[in-house]
Amino acid sequence: MNRSAHVDTFARDGLPPESEQPDFVFSLPELQYPGRLNCVSELLDRWIERGMGDRPCFITPTVTWSYAETAAQVNRIANVLTRELGMVPGNRVLLRAPNTPMFAAAYLAVMKAGGVAVATMPLLRVPELVGAIEKSQSSLALCDSRLMEALAEARAAVPALHRIVAFGTADSELENLAAAASTEFTACDSASDDVCLLGFTSGTTGGAKATIHFHRDVMAIADGYGRHVLQANGDDRFIGSPPLAFTFGLGGLVIFPLRVGASSVLLEKAPTDEFLSAIRKFRPTVVFTAPTAYKALLGKMQPGDSNSLRVCVSAGETLPAATFEAWKAATGVTLMDGIGATEMLHIFIGSSAEKARAGSTGRAVPGYEARVVDDAGREVPDGTAGHLAVRGPTGCRYLADVRQRKYVKGGWNYPGDTYVRDADGYFWYQARSDDMIVSSGYNIAGPEVENALLTHASVAECAVVGLPDADRGTVVAAFVVVRAGVTADDALAATLQGHVKATIAPYKYPRVVRFVVELPKTASGKLRRNALREQKLD
């Protein structure tokens, strides 16, 4: 490690032992970072130094902040943090807000001042907030005034959180303090391997896990995926639906655009109608959202709505080939699938539009290595299903968590997915490793059945899981949301079962079909399969 700038060493002290960390690979020249590095200086300050402060940075339906205005606000907040609120390098600062320029500025200010940003999803409830505060030992929080109630209640249960500062309105405390602060601030002389953010990811057992990321990690995802796969440039305008508290959103809406001097449209909420309206109004070139959102947009887009689009990134869950092909047919734009993880900070497998293949996640992002292995960690032949293993310039470091040993084995990160690699190096998703359904001795990948169902005109969304069954051990069960105007009845269930039998191997068809109004999802839009597995067979 380089000499740390941290006075408060809690996060560094919580790093896993080196023997339990993955091997870090810096195979590209652009990933060779100096020992001293503050990611915000690279993302923001250098554009001001180059005289490009007038370029638009953050755009909303009501305001636009230039790079100069963003830098000035970041510096004001950094001064407030260090001079008014007593933050020292290494302190964790909890952040809670929807996607707004002020939230992005607060995030950047914490990192610029040497702090550790701990962003939380706006939809988290009190017990989840308590868990995040306790795990991170955050003593200070910056919170949108509209979300104060739950955080204030959580604070009462956690003595570590000493102060909450509200922002988001003209007369909020942070805005008032920032208005009186200097617009000049010298970035903390951080080490490239100083911790700058903790990303929380849900665990099926043992509660949420906090993933540790360095200043160099922030730069690595921009100089890897952003540079080589997105091929972003300063003329791009980004837009997306994921929260900034989700590292998919942080990368797609802050890190990637700021790395190239581009602009980003921030939407506090992005239901289909509002998202489409924003695409029509702001004419973005790069979109980040989930497969279900692309499918929903298809049903409402009019001719010309997609004319500005250059890059459309899909992640958060696997992209069905049917959605890939329908989007291409309707817009002429190729969807770019990708798999990432909070543990890895962002996408590590995903191909550019010209190299994308329908149904495939893509190839390893430049700078990363990926392979498919068996239970013993031995690489399996191409065409054989196995566990995905990956390594590169970023990797899993859980904060003081024994589950580190499950995610990292033999120097490789194991995201928990079953994949097949083909002879061309493309990776084909089969299922989460715990989503493989074994029914009557057959191995059935739930996502494959989902993709077959999605090719039927009556299906809007669906999810397939295995449910316990006395005769078969496990039975394939499909939960289906039908399109508007479609009657969900036994006849349709039989039709869908027949459709699956005609599309893929008949033994894979869902023996149980249940129609639901909506599918259970997390705040970041991921399907909550565990909630479906709790259902009982009639």
Counting every residue written for the chain, the total comes to: 538
In a domain, 27, yes or no: no
- Residue 205: predicted pLDDT: 45
Among 372, 399, 433, the domain-final residue is: 433
- The CB density around residue 148, as the number of other CB atoms within 10 Å, is 17
- Helices 446-454/490-503 angle, 10° precision: 110
Amino acid at 105: A
Check: pTM over 0.95? Answer yes or no.
no
DSSP annotation of 3: P
**Of 535, 375, 380, which is closest to residue 469 (Cα–Cα)?**
535
In a domain, 153, yes or no: no
Q: Look at the chain and report how many structural domains it folds into.
A: 2
CA 423 to chain centre: 29
Contact 54, 65 (CB under 8 A): no
Amino acid at 179: A
Concatenate the DSSP letters of all residues of 317-335 into one string: S---HHHHHHHHHHHS--E
Asked if 280 and 405 sit in the same domain, the reply is yes
Concatenate the DSSP letters of all residues of 110-156 into one string: HHHTT-EEEEE-TT--HHHHHHHHHHHT--EEEEEGGGHHHHHHHHH
Asked if 249 and 303 sit in the same domain, the reply is yes
- Kindly state the tokens that stand for 89: 């390098």
Asked if 429 and 462 sit in the same domain, the reply is no
Interior/surface letters 486-507, b for 16+ CB within 10 angstroms, e for the rest:
eebeeebbeebbebbeebbeee
Asked if 237 and 346 sit in the same domain, the reply is yes
- Residue 204: predicted pLDDT: 42
Give the residue numbers spanning the domain of 425.
Answer: 221-433
Asked if 342 and 468 sit in the same domain, the reply is no
Give the residues of the chain that fall short of pLDDT 70.
202-207, 434-435, 438, 440-443, 470-472, 524, 538
User: 353-391: per-residue pLDDT in tens?
Assistant: 999 999 999 999 999 999 999 999 999 999 999 999 999
Asked if 362 and 243 sit in the same domain, the reply is yes
Asked if 410 and 284 sit in the same domain, the reply is yes
Among 433, 456, 475, the domain-final residue is: 433
Measured CA to CA, the distance from residue 335 to residue 127 in angstroms comes to 37
**Of 262, 265, 321, 255, which is closest to residue 294 (Cα–Cα)?**
321
In a domain, 405, yes or no: yes
Q: What angle do CA 122, 127, 129 make, to 5 degrees?
A: 40
57-to-157, 243, 253 alpha-carbon distances in Å: 38, 17, 10
Among 433, 456, 490, the domain-final residue is: 433
- CATH of residue 414: 3.40.50.12780
In a domain, 515, yes or no: yes
Asked if 318 and 228 sit in the same domain, the reply is yes
- Residue 445: predicted pLDDT: 75
Measured CA to CA, the distance from residue 508 to residue 497 in angstroms comes to 10
Amino acid at 414: Y
Contact 323, 291 (CB under 8 A): yes
Measured CA to CA, the distance from residue 324 to residue 359 in angstroms comes to 7
In a domain, 242, yes or no: yes
In a domain, 205, yes or no: no
In a domain, 184, yes or no: no
Sign of CA dihedral 216, 104, 89, 184: positive
Asked if 276 and 341 sit in the same domain, the reply is yes
Contact 278, 230 (CB under 8 A): no
- CATH of residue 513: 3.30.300.30
Asked if 448 and 426 sit in the same domain, the reply is no
- Residue 266: predicted pLDDT: 98
Asked if 293 and 317 sit in the same domain, the reply is yes
Question: Which residue is listed with tokens 């060779």?
Answer: 32
**Of 191, 182, 174, 209, which is closest to residue 5 (Cα–Cα)?**
191
Contact 360, 337 (CB under 8 A): yes
The alpha-carbon radius of gyration of the chain (Å, integer) is 23
In a domain, 99, yes or no: no
Asked if 369 and 259 sit in the same domain, the reply is yes
Question: Which residue is listed with tokens 């279900």?
Answer: 292
